[in-house]
Amino acid sequence: QFPYFDEVNFSGSHFERMYIPMSEHKVTIRKLYFRKMQLTFHDLKKILANITGLEILEIGNDGLTKLSRNSNLFTQWPPKAIIEPKNLMKVELQHLELSHVPKSIQKFINLRSIDLRNNRISMLPEEMSELVTLEVLIVTDNCLRKLPKHLGNLKRLRELRAGGNRISGLPEGFGGMEGMEVLDLYGNELRELPEGLEKWKNMREFDFDMNYVDTDEIQ
């Protein structure tokens, strides 16, 4: 009856019972917001099975300090349930206690923005370096010790927020990302500034505090 929606937002809603019938008829939804509504992967998989054309998916738990009974809780990588990964352009998965990002992230070939802040992710797969359309990567407050080896291949990346991790070194070629506008590496274990930083003419926000580098010497 309603074949197309530009946006559907149920964030913060709580249903006593969620019945999701399977249907032969798909619904096109461009933007889907399901933040903090007690969702499980089982629920999400049923919902997304009936949706096509999805470009934006936000299913995180906002700025919580700890999970509550109203939080979304996933034991599997949530985007795995999307039936058309090539359409997705933006995904927000903050504060879900996710422990990893699978290699299958490479299927999302048109992703422009990934927000994975406040999880328990210890490693980003090298396949993430194949997301050549990526412009924004947020992995603040995880357990990362390094970034993907070929992250420098992401020439469109203009915003990288990776503060609050345990990163001790930057990948080779990182200094060649001259289109970078925002670089936040606050609170890591870095001892050197990125090489070629002086060539980053578009930089408008740079945070390197709480590392092992004297930021007062940066000109």
Q: Model confidence over 136-150: pLDDT tens digits?
A: 999 999 999 999 999
Distance from C-alpha of 4 to C-alpha of 53, rounded to nearest angstrom: 9
Q: Are residues 57 and 136 in the same domain?
A: no
Q: Return mean pLDDT, the chain.
A: 90
The predicted structure's pLDDT at residue 197: 86
- At which of 74, 97, 120 does a domain end? 97
* Beta pairing partners, 33: 9, 58
pTM summary value: 0.92
- At which of 51, 76, 97 does a domain end? 97
Distance from C-alpha of 83 to C-alpha of 88, rounded to nearest angstrom: 10
Give the tens place of pLDDT for each residue, 68-101: 778 898 878 889 889 999 999 999 999 998 999 9
Tokens for 165?
């991790």
Instruction: Kindly write down the DSSP assignment for every residue of 40-108, as one continuous string.
Output: -HHHHHHHHTTEES--EEE---TT-SS--TTS---SS-GGGG-S-GGG--EEE--SS------GGGGG-
Which residue type is seen at 101? V
In the predicted model, is pLDDT for residue 1 greater than 70?
A: no
Question: What 8-state DSSP symbol labels residue 194?
Answer: P
Q: Which domain covers residue 46, as residue numbers?
A: 1-15+22-97
The predicted structure's pLDDT at residue 18: 64
Distance from C-alpha of 133 to C-alpha of 6, rounded to nearest angstrom: 22
Average pLDDT over residues 116-140: 97
